[in-house]
């Protein structure tokens, strides 16, 4: 049994409480969603936590069930979010951003390898762990997440997802952690081919509403195109730039109409050259956004290439991947 202690979070899709496992006095997080809420998302989120069970950088789901007038889900209690740290500091150093970028790319590859996209990449959805996991960045909040990849009914090949997971690294502590050019041997093309043979990608579709946080949304999301893996990665690019610069050119746009505000924001994203958006930043950030913007709807991103961009930069400028962040 779990006991509520106090509210620690409040969002558009429910409330989060600090709780205690009465059997072992372990502190937990309890996410609550009222019966009859307009857009129930807890069960969708629980499905993804279940799929990610055992994966590094994702909290474990301990229980899901019903109370007197609500549904509740119990997960690991985590530490502070990147939203907390950026609100205190305004911006992060290059070293901190590069270490964060590496872990965030791993989290997205892990999630995507299970067949899901996040659709709401923002600072508040990345939290550090607690205790022995305090240096590990966790991805949370899957209420808006969506399954983009489903197994073909008559596939007789071995599981693509299992092969992807077997190649994911459990730690991000070494320069050798990335698949390098010498041992890559067509890894990307092999995974792409197995995905196409064994799995069915959702269909391209237009006229979709904007789902997620507008300031970090991709251009194609603004244009009403259904989201896929590329959109999570483009959102991550804007997030990283905002961490380094403390702002984005489209932040601060105001309008009484949300749709008009989003339209102005989309136009600003389209019209801002990447060299201008990344002015004063290492060229790797331009390369990153050029790559993710070039992806087609069903393309499998080359996560190793993207990680290598930032890891090579980290070591080239003389930093150590030591998990010592600006606030450490």
Residues 136, 230 share a domain: yes
228 belongs to a structural domain: yes
pLDDT of residue 168: 53
Residues 86, 71 share a domain: no
| pLDDT average, residue stretch 154-162 | 53
pLDDT of residue 163: 53
Residues 289, 257 share a domain: yes
Residues 167, 230 share a domain: yes
pLDDT of residue 196: 75
Share of the chain above pLDDT 90, in %: 77
Report pLDDT digits (tens) over 243-258.
999 999 999 898 889 9
Residues 140, 54 share a domain: no
Residues 14, 129 share a domain: no
DSSP-assigned beta bridge partners for residue 28: 19, 76
- Total domains in the chain come to 2
Q: Residue 67 pLDDT more than 80?
A: yes
CATH of the domain at 292: 1.10.510.10
Name the band, by pLDDT with cuts 50, 70 and 90, for residue 172: very low
17 belongs to a structural domain: yes
Residues 57, 156 share a domain: no
Whether the Cβ atoms of residue 257 and residue 267 lie closer than 8 Å to each other: no
325 belongs to a structural domain: no
| Residue among 76, 120, 232, 302 flagged as catalytic | 120
- Residue ending a domain, among 29, 54, 76, is 76
* Cβ-proximal residues to 4 (8 Å cutoff; 6+ apart), any chain: 17, 18, 19, 30
- Residue ending a domain, among 18, 41, 76, is 76
| pLDDT average, residue stretch 14-42 | 92
More confident residue, 8 or 14: 8
CATH of the domain at 44: 3.30.200.20
Report pLDDT digits (tens) over 137-154.
999 999 999 999 998 776
Residues 51, 127 share a domain: no
Residues 189, 90 share a domain: yes
219 belongs to a structural domain: yes
d(CA 202, CA 190) in angstroms, rounded, equals 21
Which residues constitute the domain of residue 60? 2-76
Residues 169, 256 share a domain: yes
Report pLDDT digits (tens) over 93-148.
999 999 999 999 999 999 999 999 999 999 999 999 999 999 999 999 999 999 99
Whether the Cβ atoms of residue 301 and residue 229 lie closer than 8 Å to each other: yes
Residues contributing to the annotated binding site for ATP: 31
Residues 131, 228 share a domain: yes
Q: Is 322 a catalytic residue?
A: no
Residue 75: Cβ-neighbour burial (10 angstroms; 0-12, 13-18, 19+): buried
Residues 295, 182 share a domain: yes
| pLDDT average, residue stretch 187-209 | 85
Report pLDDT digits (tens) over 29-56.
999 998 878 778 999 999 999 999 999 9
Alpha-carbon torsion angle 227, 233, 237, 240, nearest 10: 120
DSSP 228: -
- Residue ending a domain, among 31, 53, 76, is 76
């Amino acid at each position: 049994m779990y006991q509520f202690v106090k509210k620690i979070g409040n969002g558009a899709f429910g409330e989060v409480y600090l709780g205690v496992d009465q059997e072992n006095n372990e502190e937990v997080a309890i996410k609550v969603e009222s019966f009859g809420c307009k857009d129930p998302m807890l069960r969708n989120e629980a499905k993804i936590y279940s799929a990610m069970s055992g994966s590094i950088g994702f909290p474990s789901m301990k229980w899901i069930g019903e109370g007197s007038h609500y549904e509740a889900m119990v997960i690991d209690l985590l530490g502070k979010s990147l939203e907390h740290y950026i609100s205190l500091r305004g911006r992060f150093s290059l070293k901190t951003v590069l270490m964060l970028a590496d872990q965030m790319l791993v989290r997205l590859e892990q999630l995507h390898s299970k067949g899901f996209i996040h659709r709401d990449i923002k600072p508040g959805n990345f939290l550090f762990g607690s205790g022995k996991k305090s240096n590990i960045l966790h991805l949370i909040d899957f209420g808006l997440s969506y399954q983009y990849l489903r197994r073909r009914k008559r596939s007789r090949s071995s599981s693509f997802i299992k092969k992807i997971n077997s190649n994911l690294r459990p730690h991000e502590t070494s320069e050798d952690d990335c698949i390098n050019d010498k041992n890559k041997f067509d890894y990307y093309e092999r995974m792409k081919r197995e995905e196409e043979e064994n799995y069915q990608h959702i269909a391209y579709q237009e006229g979709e509403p904007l789902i997620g946080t507008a300031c970090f949304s991709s251009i194609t999301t603004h244009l009403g195109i259904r989201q896929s893996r590329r959109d999570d990665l483009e959102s991550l690019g804007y997030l990283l730039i905002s961490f380094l610069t403390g702002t984005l050119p489209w932040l601060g746009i105001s309008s009484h109409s949300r749709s008009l505000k989003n339209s102005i924001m989309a136009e600003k994203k389209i019209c801002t050259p990447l060299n201008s958006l990344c002015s004063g930043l290492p060229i790797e950030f331009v390369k990153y956004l050029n790559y993710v913007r070039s992806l087609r709807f069903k393309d499998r991103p080359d996560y190793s290439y993207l990680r290598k961009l930032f890891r090579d930069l980290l070591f080239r400028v003389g930093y150590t991947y030591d998990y010592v962040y600006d606030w450490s």
